[in-house]
Structure 1
């Protein structure tokens, strides 16, 4: 799309979890509806009644936006956003976000308001910002992708949230409980811009969100933001106590200083697992969701950007 702004009469096709029936989701949909109705902006909600229908709902929204010349908008967290990105990315349709998640890295990195009404209002005057997308094999990600420890942490976090609620304190507590357990040490061959190396590690993390990388103190944030590169973080073999220390250093923004962590930026990286792999492949975390992937895993920047609807003040 050559224009840098969205046509003022382009309709919004909104993928929303409002079909879940929760009070928060219902209130969010009412707030979004009020903003677009007041602006007389054509829009429709395409509801996710069941999480298993998410891919089908995303495809429906993209098809509708393509037919109408409109934009696809997601009202959800990073995981829901990721699912819709899969469908939107090949089409280059404009893509908007109304954040509804816990951490909302995709929104915060591009100045999108966390308040529902403010985020919806910003879409009315937004501009089209090309945003870098990462790929692990054929799966897109905006925030991060990883194998090893992080997928375990996400699984535990979801279990705790179902029991205690979707709060940051619950996420942090479940993360601590995960770190206290014993973890598998993966033996892998890593091929990247600087050569090939064999490593043993409990976790390989690949970042595509400069804000998240800055928060843990990694210099590669600038490479991700300006140089079309991704950031790799490979944890060296550590004890449970050392792992807890690494987590603390990350929370304090001091991970760059840690010699137990190897970090570098790259354009393309392939990970071949030399230790045993189950029939389903490798469990990989992608923007907060877990998938099974067959090795080897190839991480790279997608050839086409995501056309994000960013607030006009960020231009």
Structure 2
């Protein structure tokens, strides 16, 4: 499929939410069921806010099933006291908070604690818990684009096909060998060496339709990640667009070669990779079957979703607290 760049639509006018450097902060943080490292993070956040005499409340979550209730509580408190919600965790945890915060227009702060932290790094937010917490004390608001897949928000990427399988394998490796980028790399290698399915999918791209064959379709909303793997359309993310990457059918060794090219920042130069920017993309799987639901990944979390899949930038921005 040929590369295509759509004309970005003018963003709707959205007023900045009110913000004060004394506004209270309501932090949703996974306490980790008593894990020492997690409790040290909790103690650090409390100490920094107390030393600065900043009004705050920590809503610790030890069971992920209780995360939605904690987020809802933080939103209620932020509305009541003209404050901000703060998400402490990896991109998946931050995504869960964004899902609920985005419709409210409330300010969002983050304390990134994941393996890659693409979202935080893209906006200059440190993964050091003390430094990130201190930066919230003097932070200002920044308008940030959020992607949507069937109205489900994503801040870094969303995908179908091989990539969700890779993420599931990576999580299994992390459970056995710990969370690190080396473990993530070996998990990716193991996935690439297995047999994988090729999908025939119809793409409705803005006003045109294409049919392609691909093992995976990846949609990015993070300029740092796109630039890091060498995708030339990365700047389009600053123009209210998303960026799609499709891999042509290849063998196992060729797939490993593409993984290596991505690690070296040269994926966009590969002749087996097609990338394009868009404002609206509908994905309709055709073969090997036409599923009514399929497995997709959003910000590292694998879920089931009805087809067809519709990708677009959210018309509502996320108001992110970023360092001065």
TM-score higher than 0.5: yes
Residues 12 and 72, structure 1, Cα contact 8 Å, conserved in 2: yes
> Would the alpha carbon gap of residues 269 and 164 (structure 1) be closer, same or farther in structure 2, given more than 3 Å must change?
same
Partner of 1:295: 307
Partner of 2:193: 180
CA shift for structure 1 position 4:
7.7
Spell out, residue by residue over 1:220-248, the C-alpha distance to the aligned partner (whole angstroms, 9 max, x if none): 11001x21100000111111111000111
Q: Within 2, Cα distance between the matches of 1:228 and 1:138?
A: 16
Q: Within 1, Cα distance between the matches of 2:106 and 2:52?
A: 22
The 5 A counterparts of 1:97-112 are 97-112=110-125
Q: Within 1, Cα distance between the matches of 2:67 and 2:291?
A: 27
Q: Within 2, Cα distance between the matches of 1:259 and 1:54?
A: 43
Partner of 1:120: 133
The 5 A counterparts of 1:1-315 are 2=15, 6-193=19-206, 195-224=208-237, 226-275=238-287, 276-277=289-290, 281-312=293-324
CA shift for structure 1 position 81:
0.2
Q: Within 2, Cα distance between the matches of 1:173 and 1:298?
A: 32
Residues 5 and 126, structure 1, Cα contact 8 Å, conserved in 2: no
Q: Within 1, Cα distance between the matches of 2:81 and 2:303?
A: 32
CA shift for structure 1 position 193:
2.9
CA shift for structure 1 position 95:
0.3
Residues 94 and 128, structure 1, Cα contact 8 Å, conserved in 2: yes
CA shift for structure 1 position 8:
2.3
Residues 4 and 129, structure 1, Cα contact 8 Å, conserved in 2: no
Unaligned runs of 5+ in 2: 1-13
CA shift for structure 1 position 48:
1.6
Unaligned runs of 5+ in 1: none
Q: CA RMSD in A?
A: 1.4
Q: Within 2, Cα distance between the matches of 1:12 and 1:297?
A: 36
Residues 90 and 113, structure 2, Cα contact 8 Å, conserved in 1: yes
Q: State the SS of the aligned residue for 1:264.
A: strand
Q: Within 1, Cα distance between the matches of 2:107 and 2:216?
A: 34
Q: State the SS of the aligned residue for 2:31.
A: helix
Alignment coverage as a number of residue pairs: 310
Spell out, residue by residue over 1:203-229, the C-alpha distance to the aligned partner (whole angstroms, 9 max, x if none): 0000000000000001111001x2110
Spell out, residue by residue over 1:170-198, the C-alpha distance to the aligned partner (whole angstroms, 9 max, x if none): 11111110111010111110010361111
Residues 17 and 105, structure 2, Cα contact 8 Å, conserved in 1: no
Q: Within 2, Cα distance between the matches of 1:273 and 1:170?
A: 32
